[in-house]
Amino acid sequence: MRRSLLRSRMLPSAFLLISFFASALIGQSLRSQLNPKYKKWFDEDVRWIITDQERREFLKLGIDDQRDNFEAEFWAWRNPAPSS
């Protein structure tokens, strides 16, 4: 009984840990394929303010036009004076 209880608690934790590392590796792979302009923007300019969801969405984008639109919307959303 005790052994099955221990397994049932460890499996979800192990799954979450594996999922975390897999997503980190995938993100690293996608980030390394970026054009240097977007890599700099992603790694330096917005590193501390981009949300996890925005990070995932940006890395899924396939073409530079989409990345340009994402960047424009990213800054527009954070603009304290939208009419400027």
Per-residue pLDDT tens over the stretch 10-57: 556 655 555 554 454 445 555 667 889 999 999 999 999 999 999 999
The type of residue at 25 is L
The type of residue at 27 is G
pTM of the model: 0.62
Instruction: Return the exposure string of 44-79: e unless at least 16 CB atoms fall within 10 Å of the residue's CB, then b.
Output: eebeeebeeeeeeebbebeeeeebeebbeebeeeee
Measure the CA–CA gap between 34 and 62, rounded to whole angstroms. Answer: 10
